[in-house]
Structure 1
């Protein structure tokens, strides 16, 4: 009998520690240390960024990626997919030297389908998925490129900062490295008496939790286990996460059923599919970026909250279906059709 996606997840542990041991033995570098620029030669990495109306921050994001590409000797490819922007995003993609491939879609299709477009165009065995408002430190691409594997999902973290424009309109960022503990997966303070949106749990009193540390860096989340409101698929957040290209294409890429613009769950589902396919989720504590809030952050947050229940319901329904595999042909046909509608910007 074919196992459901939920049952398939329960069959797999998340003991990625052999990967860590081999890496540290091969390089002499700690798994969580920033990668020096002397390492990474021979590695290959594709970066995929879907964007929609990100002109307020995209030049800063691309400038940082340019610096990161200069830092690492790895071979990198940057793909930006414009999901029918109505501001200056399209022109920025067309003109910025960091972009290797730029595609503009003529109609909004949502983050899942836009990410699939970039995934199909990616050439490297490891693909870094990131949001168009994530500003990365120079070592970030090297961190991912040298640690990628065909059964490993590398999880990064985000430090949200409000959009504060400088005299030139560009966002002002905090000095230094982004703070790991600004991410909810590292430092979490759930409220008392309020149902959690993901699990529905209600806690009698507020408390402070550390999901990353308390799960031994996600190792204890294997076999479908949970830590309060958190489980392993939820740790795969496409603000900053790297996946093996072939494995993600084999399970069909991101589910385009998550079509609304805004908060997703397509990344949680992506994590679930890859876990069921035998991939491990390994955090990189040094892989973190400044995540710039949009100028209308309050309005967008309300939209995201309003769209969360139907998206989560769609995800729960997908968990009851057979674990996907062998979907490369379907993925390729569907995504090529979408790309045929697009305009090549670079």
Structure 2
């Protein structure tokens, strides 16, 4: 499990406690993206964490995930956001389905900061890929479509668990790569390395699209995207959720433009060599604990 973490002291203990309670044990690596709070100390002190890597400066979640990919040795990598609390069965649900030709996609149920206690079971339909209420009369974020009436869409249901996506097909604002969200996602480690991992430029530009781009590359190499409905966790909003969301949205046009430009370019020929060289250089400059 690779967990990129930046200033998540407010939620990381709950996330790690939930991993300690999983019915299937996994190696847990936390990559601290130069946090300014006590994130690294929390990770170092928790018994479920096998390794903590602290980056020398803030480089973004894409780079943090790349470092974690190199730092682990498992056949399957579960990418998990540092604000996702998982029910005890979720890692087992992913592990039993993991194989060399699939990307396993989980889901999230957003919880407002400070809401206690958590509901007993995460609601699959709280994920916007499952129940989707888009705005009317303004361009949609991804496709640019403008809807003239309100709808309650069900992208997962109405694409037959994504079977009807792929090959350029879309469901309004959704295509197959955009369904790949690394808040909770599993993929073969060798496949992630073979495509050169996450493009770190996304982290420099702002927020979003690095997981969609990873999904597009994995799909292009022949992997299938498989949703695992029961793999749904609680996503814990930060204290400043509204301000953070506005900041993220402000950078969306730049990351979307970068993503579109990458889709027009051929796959890099030396992806593996460059990926390993860059990540090992960064790893050598980082602090590694345990």
**TM-score, length of structure 1 as denominator length:** 0.82
Q: Which residue is 1:84 aligned to? A: 34
Q: How many residues align?
A: 290
Report the Cα distance in structure 2 between the residues aligned to 1:173 and 1:326, rounded to whole angstroms: 49
Q: Is the 8 A contact 1:93 1:345 kept in 2?
A: no
Q: Which residue is 2:121 aligned to? A: 177
Runs of 4+, deviation exceeding 4 Å: none
Match for 2:260 among 306, 313, 316?
316
Computing the radius of gyration over CA atoms, which structure comes out larger, 1 or 2?
Answer: 1
SS of the equivalent of 1:230 reads coil
Matches within 5 A, 1:296-307: 296-307=240-251
Q: Which residue is 1:23 aligned to? A: none
- CA gap 1:200/1:57 in 2 versus in 1, 3 angstroms: same
Report the Cα distance in structure 2 between the residues aligned to 1:66 and 1:173, rounded to whole angstroms: 19
- Does structure 1 residue 53 correspond to structure 2 residue 4? no
**TM-score, length of structure 2 as denominator length:** 0.97
Q: Which residue is 1:234 aligned to? A: 178
- Does structure 1 residue 127 correspond to structure 2 residue 77? yes
SS of the equivalent of 1:302 reads helix
Mind listing any 5+ residue stretches in structure 2 that lack a counterpart? none
Q: Which residue is 1:193 aligned to? A: 137
* Residue 325 (structure 1) shift: 5.8
Report the Cα distance in structure 2 between the residues aligned to 1:306 and 1:123, rounded to whole angstroms: 37
Q: Is the 8 A contact 2:40 2:54 kept in 1?
A: yes
- CA gap 1:208/1:198 in 2 versus in 1, 3 angstroms: same
* CA offset digits 1:272-305 (Å, max 9, x no partner): 0000000000000000100000100011001000
Report the RMSD for the aligned CA atoms in angstroms: 1.2
Report the Cα distance in structure 2 between the residues aligned to 1:321 and 1:261, rounded to whole angstroms: 19
Q: Is the 8 A contact 2:205 2:254 kept in 1?
A: no
Q: Which residue is 1:146 aligned to? A: 96
Report the Cα distance in structure 2 between the residues aligned to 1:268 and 1:201, rounded to whole angstroms: 19
Q: Which residue is 2:219 aligned to? A: 275
Q: Is the 8 A contact 2:206 2:255 kept in 1?
A: no
* CA offset digits 1:79-125 (Å, max 9, x no partner): 00000000010110111101001011120000100000000112111
- CA gap 1:325/1:76 in 2 versus in 1, 3 angstroms: farther
Report the Cα distance in structure 2 between the residues aligned to 1:189 and 1:324, rounded to whole angstroms: 37
SS of the equivalent of 2:273 reads helix
* CA offset digits 1:232-290 (Å, max 9, x no partner): 00000011111111011000000011124863210000000000000000000000100
- Does structure 1 residue 99 correspond to structure 2 residue 49? yes
Report the Cα distance in structure 2 between the residues aligned to 1:294 and 1:325, rounded to whole angstroms: 40
* CA offset digits 1:317-339 (Å, max 9, x no partner): 00000134662211111100111
Report the Cα distance in structure 1 between the residues aligned to 2:269 and 2:179, rounded to whole angstroms: 21
* CA offset digits 1:7-54 (Å, max 9, x no partner): xxxxxxxxxxxxxxxxxxxxxxxxxxxxxxxxxxxxxxxx00000000
